[in-house]
Amino acid sequence: MVIPRSALVLAGVAALQTPAPIDVSLGARALQPGELVVLTVTTREPAGAVHVRAFDWDWPGFAADDHTWRAVVGIDLDVAPGAYAIQVRADSSSGVARHMETVTVSPKAFRTRHLTVDNAFVNPPASVQPRIEQEAAVLAPLWRSSNLAPLWTGAFVAPVPQEANSAFGTRSVFNRQARSPHGGADFPSPAGTPVKAPNGGLVVLAGDLYYTGGTVVIDHGLGLVSLFAHLSAIDVKAGDQVSAGTVVGKVGATGRVTGPHLHWTLRASGARVDPLSLLYVLGPERRPIPDPRFPLPFDSRFHLPDSAHGFSFRCLSYHARIRFSKSIDSSTLFGGRCAPLT
Ligand SMILES: [Zn+2]
């Protein structure tokens, strides 16, 4: 067969301009509304920048090392179930490498809870309307003005020792009137319990607000912003730098509450996400975080059959597509997570 000279030249140019591919792995508790997803982007050559586009938003990425970038993507409470594209772009000296991942967000059913509170927090008197509006105007930009770089180091930790008792996203009915979904986690901590910063960051608000009472807002950077509500005492002020474990205040019963507890709201570049999903994907336990795209653990139930030669799987531990052949020892794949390529 004779290949035209022009085709050879074109093929050569294309090869020179194609940057090395990038591998993307996901870590999440689930792909559902209100969940955080950690993207790990592995590049074969050092990248100068990595951009992530998902859910109509640009998510900041940061370099963990020369070849590894991470981004934390939030699936907002109101994202409808369905298929969504996550687009990743890595800029390096050899050009721009792109990767497109399609994820399926599954539906999530949220409970409804009925609460009885002081009527002034359900139907506020006209006299406090200006205050409520002014506070909402102060809070709104804080969710989306986070530092682009992470201001934290290491693992995120729980702010109080008690386990959270109310699910994020619960539909709240106050005094028989429906209000917006519960956008945080509640911890049934006794009044006076010290509230600790879950990780490093900058205090961007500390004060008394109508609905949230004694309130501290911490910008952790990379789009992650924490709000702690109903505090009886506040130990920090706007502009303070905190690190994991810094006491920012005490648990109380201020604002719209039925009793003392800690309320923690978390936003990721504005998306309303469950703070417990943050502790899951960036928390202290050093266990592997499941990749929701790879439901099958590569364990004894998943031995390579003799006929596996020629079958293709994607394996998380390799961050790559692998075409199995008899030359691969199945024991080297043990402990990875794989899914057949159809
Ligand atoms: Zn709450």
Shared domain check, 142 and 100: no
Shared domain check, 312 and 214: no
- Residues 299-314 have a mean pLDDT of 44
The rounded distance, in Å, linking the Cα atoms of 148 and 241 is 16
The proportion of the chain whose per-residue pLDDT surpasses 90, expressed as a percent, equals 54
Shared domain check, 184 and 80: no
Q: Which pLDDT does position 337 carry in this prediction?
A: 52
- Residues 223-238 have a mean pLDDT of 97
- Residues 144-159 have a mean pLDDT of 92
Shared domain check, 151 and 51: no
- Distance of CA 114 from the midpoint of ligand 1 (Å): 13
pTM: 0.80
Shared domain check, 207 and 159: yes
Shared domain check, 261 and 160: yes
Q: Which of 275, 309, 326 finishes a domain?
A: 275
- Distance of CA 273 from the midpoint of ligand 1 (Å): 13
Alpha helices (H) in the chain, listed in sequence order: 5-17, 129-144, 275-282
User: pLDDT tens, 116-132?
Assistant: 888 888 888 899 999 99
The rounded distance, in Å, linking the Cα atoms of 282 and 201 is 15
* Side-chain-side CA neighbours of residue 32 (13 Å): 11
- Distance of CA 8 from the midpoint of ligand 1 (Å): 65
Number of domains in the chain: 3
How distant is the alpha carbon of residue 319 from its chain centre? 20
Q: Which pLDDT does position 168 carry in this prediction?
A: 85
- Distance of CA 178 from the midpoint of ligand 1 (Å): 15
Shared domain check, 168 and 148: yes
How distant is the alpha carbon of residue 327 from its chain centre? 39
Reply yes or no on whether the pLDDT at 240 is more than 50.
yes
CA geometry: angle at 304 spanning 299 and 306, to 5°?
155
Reply yes or no on whether the pLDDT at 275 is more than 50.
yes
Q: Count each helix (H run) and each strand (E run) in the chain, helices first.
A: 3, 24
Task: Pick the most confident of 140-144, 167-171, 232-236, 281-285.
Answer: 232-236
